[in-house]
Amino acid sequence: MKKKDLGLIYSSWKNFFEKILDKINLKNRVKFKKVENNFSSIKIDSSGYLSELCLLGEKYGTDKSVYNKKTNHQHSYTPIYNMLLNHFKTSNINIAELGVAQSASLKMFREYFKNANIDVFDNDDQLIENSKKLQLNKVNYFHLDVNNKNNIKDLFEKNNILYDLIIDDTSHLFDHQINVVEETHKFLKKGGFLIIEDVFVKKKNYREELYYEKLKHLKNEFTDIFFCECKHKYNYSGFWNNSKLLIFKK
């Protein structure tokens, strides 16, 4: 059989099966379900994506970058942050970072967002004092207890600052995360982002529908709300399995 004839047979069979697949797809469309009674949810595998933030995360040893070698865990947050936030890079923005730990992510953000004012919030006075010793430019510190909604409310009202970016990296407890969203969202600028880090992927008390039930009354305050499970071949969080973000855009 000639090569040309084989090609015609292949093309004919291909068209035949494609028509069958098209019919199956048309039937399946009626079963497609839109997202209802929940926030949107996506998964992004950034294994092939490398950004300046990823390298700064490696430099300063924050677990927000999979390339850091100074912590036990590593999350692939820096690719997502680079995609969402790079337009802020040289702007005079206000950032609120809740949870300072060893100041690794603070140093990363300080170098990346060169003109930003950064306010750091934590409930551990020793960690705050340790961070102050770094004498980072345009960084302010505040004692904050995310377990206390009134404390969050009172402090943010007292400071009276509108932020372009608010990141919660505190206790990772569900109720505390809800407290942060409910009491800080009104201090977010239009076009700004409020991001809850380290949402557990499989723990039943951290199911996406539970976040929706607690926060659905705020839907109209934002232009977009979605979960982002951050996948990467180098992710590691042990048994925590919490490389997931809850992202609000004003």
Number of domains within the chain:
2
- Same domain? 21 vs 46: no
Q: Strands 139-143 and 117-122: what pairing?
A: parallel
- Same domain? 25 vs 121: no
Taking the alpha carbons at both ends of the chain, their separation in whole angstroms is: 65
Q: Strands 224-231 and 40-45: what pairing?
A: parallel
Work out the angle between the directed axes of helices 208-215 and 174-184 (0-180°, nearest 10): 40
- Same domain? 23 vs 122: no
- Same domain? 158 vs 132: yes
- Same domain? 177 vs 204: yes
Contact between residue 38 and residue 208 where contact means Cβ atoms under 8 Å apart: yes
- Same domain? 25 vs 54: no
Please give the torsion angle defined by the CA atoms of residues 39, 123, 183 and 196, in that order, rounded to the nearest 10 degrees.
Answer: -20
- Same domain? 100 vs 28: no
Which of these, 179, 132, 140, 143, lies nearest to 163 by C-alpha position?
140
- Same domain? 238 vs 208: yes
CATH classification at residue 143: 3.40.50.150
DSSP letter, residue 221: G
Average confidence (pLDDT) per 10 residues, the chain, 250 residues: 61 81 84 86 98 98 97 97 97 98 98 98 98 98 98 98 98 98 98 98 97 97 98 96 98
- Same domain? 141 vs 215: yes
- Same domain? 27 vs 43: no
pTM to 2 decimals?
0.91
What pLDDT was estimated at residue 3?
60
Structure tokens at 67: 């390339």
- Same domain? 23 vs 56: no
- Same domain? 134 vs 186: yes
Q: Tell me which residue range forms the domain holding 7.
A: 1-32
